[in-house]
Structure 1
């Protein structure tokens, strides 16, 4: 189902999980998070991919954290993969970044705001890596077929699509669960980005807000309607996170949530 090296438990029937911190803050934090998720997913037999952005290019304010350095962060991702035997995913923001990031990770992610950028999609496709395309907040699920076509026509069939809500007014998002079956019409796995869909962007402070108390609600609904997987940003100390702390799931709450979601998945099947 997923052409991703090192992906375990695909025969379990469980959903795929992409999880980790928003950004690579340090080797220590990345390893702390990966170790906890690994234990939980092994226990529940959930296939998972460690997520971490090597650089945050889409920031509201100039003084926002963007990263610890490209090569340093990418090396951390490579070390996580080797140490825990888990595939990794990171987002890229320009065509020239595709080959660089592909040397370190298993999955290249296209950010939602960039899902229509042809040069970026084609460059990512040509690496041969699995490509996870976030659906733009400004697009319907059915419109994502054009992103899929660009990648397939560039010679790469290994595609995942991820919903992350739709723009609603100026500072909120709303999740339209019709997007999941609409995107599945492309015969690719479809994930729900639970934590980003609960963002409240464009705040007057210049720092994105969020509603993490609804993470369970969105995750349960996504699995219930047939999503193939979930994307969840998590951190042991969200208040100290360098990026997106306002809408992250506290790492201590991950096992309880995933345990419930596994039961919902089995009931749906």
Structure 2
């Protein structure tokens, strides 16, 4: 088991500083993605925080067939490669089927397994086989301790560079609840645990043809997760969330991100001392 993990240029996990995974939900365009990467890189440098940039080339899990999905694999990877080479930070993106793993691993540092796919054996094994860090999002339908077998699928495929992300659990219809006990429970698996503060504020399908959410609770959830001992915080960030092409109800505003991260950094220092 590798805890902490090495995500060049930093280490994440046990005994290491709180790190952040930040970026827009989906690649809306080359220009927008590079702009967001530039702004977040400047912020991370000013705050001296370990930082991973995230953006998805395809959002396969949409409420409606008409929902915006992104530019697709080829164009999306070209944009992510440009981000990585321009701003010199680690990059994360999702994969949705085993056939994408090798191509994506050639460009990014972390392969992310979406929550609804967290039990898919072939997908986990293919991601692990790339020897890149694998971030498995806990399924909304799974208990924290159920993630043991998802982790083992990667370990037994020859890759111990694994981390888990809590993103809320189904709570009745069109609602999620974030159980902070999940963080220490999953840390018992001896892997770093991240908390996804923006997806945990979702109301899945809450707008009928798209997912709703309660963005105002993102800071409360993020602070609670830091207090519970999370190793990292995941937040989707957008310069104009209300007009974002995906997850417009929960992405956090870019102009409020510096203040929130500053508070989380201070809280982490207090908790960890």
TM-score for both structures, normalised by structure 1: 0.96
What is aligned with 2:58?
A: 55
The partner residue of 1:236 within 216, 239, 243 is: 239
Partner of residue 46, structure 1: 49
Cα shift at 1:204: 5.2
Distance across 1 between alignment mates of 2:78 and 2:8: 18
User: Helix, strand or coil for the counterpart of 2:142?
Assistant: coil
Equivalent position of 1:108 in the other structure? 111
Given that 1:9 and 1:46 are in contact with CA atoms closer than 8 Å, whether structure 2 keeps it comes out as no
Q: 1:3, CA displacement in angstroms? A: 2.4
Cα drift, residue 170 of structure 1: 1.0
Cα distance in 2 for residues equivalent to 1:66 and 1:6: 31
Q: Report the CA distance shift for 1:237/1:47 in structure 2 as closer, same or farther (over 3 A).
A: same
Q: Is the 8 A contact 2:12 2:18 kept in 1?
A: no
* DSSP-derived class of the 1:3 partner: strand
- The alpha carbon displacement at 1:39 in A equals 1.4
* Whole-angstrom CA distance in 1 between matches of 2:115 and 2:52: 19
User: In the alignment, what sits opposite 1:137?
Assistant: 140
Q: For residues 10 and 155 of structure 1, do their structure 2 counterparts lie closer, same or farther at Cα, with a shift above 3 Å needed?
A: closer
Farther-moved stretch of structure 1 (103-112 vs 38-47) = 38-47
- 1:1-269 matches, within 5 Å, as 1-7=4-10, 13-203=16-206, 205-269=208-272
The alpha carbon displacement at 1:10 in A equals 9.1
Instruction: Give the Å deviation of 1:227.
Output: 0.2
CA distance in 2, matches of 1:110, 1:36: 26
Asked if the contact 1:19/1:231 (under 8 Å) is kept, the reply is yes
* Structure 2 unmatched runs, 5+: none
Query: CA contact under 8 A between 1:6 and 1:85: conserved in structure 2?
Result: no
Provide runs of 4+ in structure 1 moved above 6 Å: 8-12
**Cα drift, residue 6 of structure 1:** 3.6
The Cα shift of 1:67 comes to 1.2
- Does structure 2 conserve the Cα–Cα contact (< 8 Å) formed by 1:7 and 1:86? no
Per-residue deviation at 1:43? 1.6
Gaps of 5+ in 1: none
Which stretch shows the higher mean deviation, 69-78 or 133-142?
Answer: 69-78
Deviates further, 122-131 or 32-41: 32-41
Cα offset, 1:4, TM superposition: 2.0
Q: 1:242/1:129 Cα in 2 relative to 1: closer, same or farther (>3 Å)? A: same
What value does the CA root-mean-square deviation take over the aligned residues? 1.6
Separation in structure 2 between the aligned mates of residue 88 and residue 5 of structure 1, nearest angstrom: 10
